[in-house]
Amino acid sequence: MHDCANKVPEEVLRKIGIEEDLLTRWRHALVTPFQQKVSSNRWSMRTVHCKGRCCSATIRVSLSGSCDVACRECGATFCCQCDFPGPHSPATCEMVAAWREANGLVEATDEDIASWLEIRKVAKQCPRCGHGIIKAQGTCNHMKCDTTASGCGHHFCYLCQSNWDVSSYRCTNPRCPSSRTGGGNIYSTTASPPSSGFERYNEECGRHLAALRNAQNLVKQARSPVDSEFHLC
């Protein structure tokens, strides 16, 4: 009988003559666990407003869980602690704040930060002087460090950063694909490669999210023929 989890209705207890004082204690024993659970949930959750453009949805987030939030209404992602536009875990909010200050992005808008991060993802350093380089156009991997933007004029390969043979327009690294394809000249614009801990975390997170989306697409593609054949919902 001790393993039985069924609750006895109060009417049954009254019929068998249980005293009122004992009934009061019985009601209290039933209600207390529920009150404790509600109180615990109340203090472990808080409400934030979506940071997405033209969206004011209210979102309940856990104080003990991840700070990364995704709005179900508009799909916007942000940190509920520091309002950073997008997930930044495992980088801490302190790391993000230090990164923004170091790069002059304390007052930057969400759009400015997103554009800045996209540029940094494709940024490379000139192997000779360390000047920031990004591709300006096309698919050619021949890069010249722009002397008009404080560069040194060095020619190198965008893929492997080996020296570029200007006479044959090929990368000097025989293992690099550019050593076989060659190409024309592309100049640089000022940028600098990812260096901070936050940026490395951001790139790693982007790669993981892309891999997750690819896996989800593969699952959908694999299910589609089966669903159509057996008329599954």
Q: Which band of pLDDT confidence, cut at 50, 70 and 90, is reported for residue 232?
A: very low
How far is the CA of 120 from the CAs of 67, 133, 161, in angstroms?
Answer: 24, 10, 17
Token digits for 192?
A: 């600098």
Residues 149, 188: contact at Cβ < 8 Å? Answer: yes
Least confident of 54-68, 75-89, 102-116, 196-210: 196-210
Pairwise CA distance, residues 57 & 36, whole Å: 29
Q: How far, in Å, are 49, 68, 72 from residue 45 at the CA level?
A: 13, 14, 17
Please, what is the average pLDDT of the chain?
73
User: Is residue 140 within 8 Å of residue 181, measured between CB atoms?
Assistant: no
pLDDT > 80? residue 206:
no
What sign does the dihedral 18-20-24-25 (CA atoms) show?
negative
In tens, the pLDDT along 174-192 reads: 888 776 655 444 444 444 4
3-class DSSP state for residue 197? Answer: helix
Are 132 and 123 in contact, with CB atoms under 8 Å apart? Answer: yes
pLDDT 10s digits, 1-53: 456 767 777 777 778 887 888 877 777 777 666 555 555 555 567 788 887 77
- For residue 46, give every residue at least 6 positions away whose Cβ sits within 8 Å of its Cβ, in sequence order, or none: 60, 61, 63
Cα–Cα distance for residue pair 102/212, rounded to 1 Å: 31
Residue listed under structure tokens 């934030």: 48
Q: Look at the block and give the residue holding tokens 């540029």.
A: 119
Give the residue extent of every domain in the chain. Answer: 65-121, 124-187
The C-alpha atoms of residue 169 and residue 171 are separated, in whole angstroms, by 7
Could you tell me which residue, 150 or 94, shows the higher pLDDT? 94
Can you give the pTM of this predicted structure?
0.41
Candidates 110, 97, 100; CA nearest to 52 is 110
> In angstroms, rounded to a whole number, what is the distance separating the alpha carbons of residues 220 and 133?
39
Chain-centre distance of CA 185, in angstroms? 35
Residue 77 scores a pLDDT above 80: yes
CA–CA dist 143, 157 (Å, integer): 6
Closest C-alpha to 189, from 136, 139, 137: 136
Mean pLDDT of 162-178: 85
Comparing 36 with 62, the larger pLDDT belongs to: 62
